[in-house]
Amino acid sequence: MSSSSEPKTIDTLLREHRHFAPPQDFVAQANTSDPTIYEQADANPETWWASWAEKLEWMKPWEQISDWSNAPYAKWFLGGKLNASVQCLDGHVAAGHGARVAYYWEGEPGDARTITYQEMLDGVCRTANALKELNIQKGDRVTLYMPMVPELAMAVLACTRIGAIFSVVFAGFSSTSLKDRIQDQEARLVICADGCWRRGKLLDLKTVVNEAIEACPSVEKVMIWQRGKGITSSAPATDRDVDWDEVVDRQSSQCAPAEQDAEDPLFILYTSGTTGKPKGILHTTGGYMTGVYATTNLVFDLKTETDVYWCTADIGWITGHSYIVFGPMANGVTQVMYEGAPNHPGPDRFWEICAKYGVTIFYTAPTAIRAFMKWGDEHPATHDLSSLRLLGTVGEPINPEAWVWYLHHIGGGRCPIVDTWWQTETGGIMITPLPGITTTVPGSATTPFPGISAKLLDEDGNEVEGANGGYLVLDRPWPHMLRGIWGDNERFEETYWSRFPGKYFPGDGAKRDEKGFLWVLGRVDDVMNVSGHRLSTMEIESALVDHEAVAEAAVIGVNHELKGQAPVGFVILRSGFEASDALADDLRKHVGTLIGGLARPEAVHFTPELPKTRSGKIMRRLLRDVAEGKTIGDTTTLADPGVLDGLRSEYEQREG
């Protein structure tokens, strides 16, 4: 018999935690513990969303809540005027909370800064005035290429202050990826940092920017915030460079906010699709602010007076936009922001930070949780994590083992976990538990947020009822939904609205259990999810065929213990090139250089042929079977079934 002091195995925990009911003391203090809000919101979704919009600061009230007559182009809060930065800053300062900490910032080397709401407001106004001096006007696009520093949030809010459309490009993307995005949006200004710290090294970002803007004539100026004060980057200055401190510091800390229409664009954020070209997802102001404000408030049960909230995402992804900048700041909570790697200088860095700032709400990705598990239980155990009261996950399905480990080793067995399903396109959380209401089940994102309607459909678009699987769709408009793809309406309509006409198709498959809970299973298209980030197989394939040695390439996402999925390439070489480990390595690096480190394939295999249908379509499903060592699935549509035998023996040889 096991004694109670013996450490529990994951299997024991899984048996003990088939369900997790919100603890009584959590329910007692929850922002909502009333299960009837679901029915109320369903009965009249417009009234429900308007009740949240009313909590925002409007310069002019809206005349109509929503308009779906021009579907799939939604409009929300028509005629209303507001400014997102006012909601995030001025309102809190005016209410007497200027001295409240907005961000506790922790640099990777251990340098730290504390920035209050008043300081953020002053900084945002100065930066906005600097943008005006650089002749940036309402509707102009500004590309941001910065690490996790408060100045990134400041730059974002400064753009919104004057009505410029900002677009953050994750600072791990290559110069080619950055260039493509700048060109697509025809940005007039790039704001970047000279570099940042990552795993003990200074990364040079300015060189990447210099390379990117060579082919970007639309860029008039590059404003550089110095992380390393001249030591980070050896990139030469260009005639477009202006120094952040030089131009921002001398500005006034007063800047009247632009009156933005509810439907004025707020930002463009690029995400991978099924073709090689990333999609510029467009979000507008009033609906987006309403959605992120409401979801942050209810899903994270925010208490602005007492909570210290930490979302470990990067602002370069949608999670950072919605749940580091706009949602939490609109609510006025105190946050932690960390620059660097979770295991630098040691695998307990996150837990040290949680203990240092008394973090109460912690939001991260399953891939990170699986890494924490691998690094060892002792790392969280050596820090005081008793301040935590709520945990969240996002980005990919969470395996039940990681879920119970998180509950037990980080949440001390007492913190509810919110597994939140959503996308760049949805703008905010769509399927999620509410921590004071939902009895959760490890691995399920449970039910749609109040006001959101999700259905499962079969191949033919018929609704799937009961405990069954199907294609996930959202069949009712919501305020924070995307308004389009920048410059490409056709692609917007084709990608999301053509598979099941009239319904939004996110590209995911899901199942429903007996309780009616949803389990999002993963992508059903040629998009893979690597460490919670979306990558397109086509984009990686294009990068591979860009190499002089490659004639043809197919890329698949294979299951990966830590990353969830990892890209693996199969390539046919041009004549005159020999397969070798060195060439495989070179190809992997080539993808990293063209797209960014995240996209670098785990492995590249050489093959004389690829499995194709008679019409020439690559059957990636069969490649996946080969790569995962599974029994090969249905091959009846294959033009030449013999191709697979060759592939498998080549694969087994390489994998040893």
Residues of this chain that bind ligand PRX (CB under 6 A): 271, 318-319, 394-397, 419-424, 445, 506-508, 520, 522-523, 529, 533-534
Cα–Cα dist 322/288, whole Å: 9
Instruction: Transcribe 259-317 into DSSP letters.
Output: -EETTSEEEEEEE--SSSSPEEEEEESHHHHHHHHHHHHHHTT--TTT-EEEE-S-TTS
Nearer to ligand PRX, 177 or 420 (CB): 420
Q: Could you give the count of Cα atoms lying within 13 Å of 292 in the half-sphere of its Cβ?
A: 31
Closest approach of Cβ 619 to ligand PRX, in Å?
22
Nearer to ligand PRX, 533 or 588 (CB): 533
Distance, CA of 263 to chain centre: 23
Closest approach of Cβ 469 to ligand PRX, in Å?
14
Cα–Cα dist 562/529, whole Å: 12
Nearer to ligand PRX, 174 or 271 (CB): 271
Geometric angle at alpha carbon 627, from 624 and 628, rounded to 5° = 85
Cα–Cα dist 479/305, whole Å: 27
Enter the tokens of residue 406: 């998180």
Closest approach of Cβ 311 to ligand PRX, in Å?
11
Nearer to ligand PRX, 406 or 422 (CB): 422
Cα–Cα dist 593/176, whole Å: 8
Which helix (DSSP H) or strand (DSSP E) does residue 50 occupy?
helix 45-53
Nearest to 106 by CA among 226, 170, 196: 196
Closest approach of Cβ 522 to ligand PRX, in Å?
6
What pairs with residue 142 in β-bridges? 166, 189
Closest approach of Cβ 406 to ligand PRX, in Å?
13
Closest approach of Cβ 261 to ligand PRX, in Å?
26
Closest approach of Cβ 91 to ligand PRX, in Å?
26
Closest approach of Cβ 572 to ligand PRX, in Å?
30
Place of tokens 């590309």: 143
Cα–Cα dist 316/405, whole Å: 28
Nearer to ligand PRX, 107 or 484 (CB): 484
Instruction: Say if residues 361 and 498 touch (Cβ distance below 8 Å).
Output: no
Closest approach of Cβ 507 to ligand PRX, in Å?
6
Q: Is the peptide bond before 345 cis (omega within 30 degrees of 0)?
A: yes
Cα–Cα dist 167/325, whole Å: 13
Closest approach of Cβ 168 to ligand PRX, in Å?
13
Cα–Cα dist 439/441, whole Å: 7
Cα–Cα dist 620/527, whole Å: 12
Cα–Cα dist 126/120, whole Å: 10
Cα–Cα dist 180/218, whole Å: 12
Find the residue with minimal CB distance to ligand PRX: 424
Place of tokens 């994998």: 655
Nearest to 291 by CA among 101, 126, 477, 517: 477
Nearer to ligand PRX, 397 or 451 (CB): 397
Nearer to ligand PRX, 77 or 310 (CB): 310
Nearer to ligand PRX, 262 or 454 (CB): 454
Instruction: Say if residues 213 and 183 touch (Cβ distance below 8 Å).
Output: no
Nearer to ligand PRX, 101 or 394 (CB): 394
Nearer to ligand PRX, 184 or 419 (CB): 419
Q: Is 517 left (phi over 0), alpha (psi -120 to 50) or beta?
A: beta
Q: List, in order, residues 6 or more apart from 617 with CB less than 8 Å away.
A: none
Phi and psi angles of residue 429, each rounded to the nearest 5 degrees, phi first: -65, 135
Nearer to ligand PRX, 251 or 420 (CB): 420
Closest approach of Cβ 274 to ligand PRX, in Å?
12
Closest approach of Cβ 67 to ligand PRX, in Å?
26
Instruction: Say if residues 436 and 27 touch (Cβ distance below 8 Å).
Output: yes
Nearer to ligand PRX, 129 or 444 (CB): 444
Nearer to ligand PRX, 93 or 417 (CB): 417
Closest approach of Cβ 295 to ligand PRX, in Å?
11
Give the distance between the most distant pair of CA atoms in the chain.
Answer: 74
Alpha helices for 117-261 (secondary structure H): 117-133, 150-162, 175-185, 206-213, 244-248
